[in-house]
Amino acid sequence: AQRVTQPEKLLSVFKGAPVELKCNYSYSGSPELFWYVQYSRQRLQLLLRHISRESIKGFTADLNKGETSFHLKKPFAQEEDSAMYYCALSIGNQFYFGTGTSLTVIP
């Protein structure tokens, strides 16, 4: 069964519009969740993790245990946000990645 679900394969928003990339997970324990980003022609890199509760490049993600979600949000999308975004769940030393969402910010 898929541990991490990203329902949107492709997402397009206009510059300046809010953006939300959805992520749901399947785990009954205390999850450790991450968002990774892959910009064009670059390697995957960590965007943020729920433990640190920080905002990176204007993105935030709140863990909702009731809904088992960890959606990634940004109030005003920028063109440079166009990239592939992956939600990931860590259980022990096992990692589970979602299928990714390709975000395109239209100028």
Q: Which residues bind another protein (CB under 8 A)?
A: 32, 34, 36, 43-46, 49, 51, 86, 88, 90, 93-100, 102
Phi-psi bin for 50: left (phi > 0), alpha (psi -120 to 50), beta? alpha
Min. distance of Cβ 102 from another protein in angstroms?
A: 8
CB atoms within 10 A of CB 92: 7
**Measured from the CB atom, is 16 or 52 closer to another protein?**
52
The number of residues in the chain equals 107
Min. distance of Cβ 65 from another protein in angstroms?
A: 18
